[in-house]
Structure 1
């Protein structure tokens, strides 16, 4: 059976306005937040990993040089998340059947659930399928979009991701339930960073 080509795009170009330091470069798990995410992605069945950077791009690019990923600068990152999403879509390999968008500040994702979401997409057999993770507090990220939605995603403007597309595509959305709430944690401030560090320490 032919392997489905699913591109993984990390949206790591945010300005980190709520933290003085760039959160994706904070130390975590013996490396950095962004490296922790990329290492997880590289262990999954994703066909390729693309990292979209903005703030401190030179530092990010230097880190990513150690990994088999494509690191791309989004010079328009201050306009909002949509610019990074569109940049990622433009960098995917020709013929990609799906694009899995990851957040650059969500380091507690895991291989098992990512691969289960990819499997659900493959089993659906439809380019219109969207697979989203759902926890006790509702829908979250990362989200996998089938190729039928790429053009709609390219039309998104400002500081938003694919939420509007998901809303329009409700009948095509597969919800993947994840019990573990820490899967969804994103590092928005110092308090959450400390929470993530504590969670990592407990896993060691």
Structure 2
């Protein structure tokens, strides 16, 4: 007997508000294939046919916005981006909670995980729709994190973030309600210029 697949309306939120101070460059706009790191993240979300894609911008937003204007997305401005990732999540949740569209889940992703593809997003969504877990998170070498989908029951908790506290905190606090999807060594973050150059040379040309 086949599992019943519940129709779910998912919103993708790509966090891209940081200043990338360690990179000494605007990380979101570093080249990746025929676009940029941020452009690649957006492309993968759109290829996954996610209902709605939001991008949270903060530092350098006036420089970044023209570079992503041709994508079918909506930009959320985080004017308090200096407070960290948690504030970007709260900013996105405030926008979503005030939207006329009622979403069943929010898929939180980062702009600097260029090896993740639309297929991973699709797998997260499929697991979310077929199971009753409130969170479906990415697992990479026993490390749990984003991209991750959170059901509506976590929306209020995510909306209260006001510091550099990421979605991983909610995952750790609710491990009994988490289903894991392995990323097959693809959930690598671009944290330093050295790291970026190594990944770009191997995968990003």
What is the TM-score normalised by the length of structure 2? 0.90
Matched, 1:136 2:141: yes
> Post-superposition shift, 1:199?
2.7
The alpha-carbon distance between structure 1 residues 163 and 140, as it changes in their structure 2 partners (threshold 3 A), is closer
Structure 1 ranges of 4+ moved more than 3 A: none
Corresponding residue for residue 101 of structure 1: 108
Query: Which whole-Å CA distance do the structure 1 matches of 2:175 and 2:52 have between them?
Result: 27
Structure 1 contact 13–84 (Cα < 8 Å) conserved: yes
Name the SS of the counterpart of 2:106 in structure 1.
Answer: strand
Corresponding residue for residue 162 of structure 1: 167
Counterparts in 2 of 1:22-171, with a 5 A limit?
22-92=26-96, 93=99, 94-124=101-131, 126=132, 129-171=134-176
RMSD after superposition: 1.7
Q: Number of paired residues?
A: 198
Structure 2 contact 32–40 (Cα < 8 Å) conserved: yes
Show CA shifts across 1:102-126 (max 9, x none). 11211111111210110110111x4
Matched, 1:187 2:194: no
Show CA shifts across 1:75-133 (max 9, x none). 10001111110111223342110000111211111111210110110111x4x610111
What is the TM-score normalised by the length of structure 1? 0.91
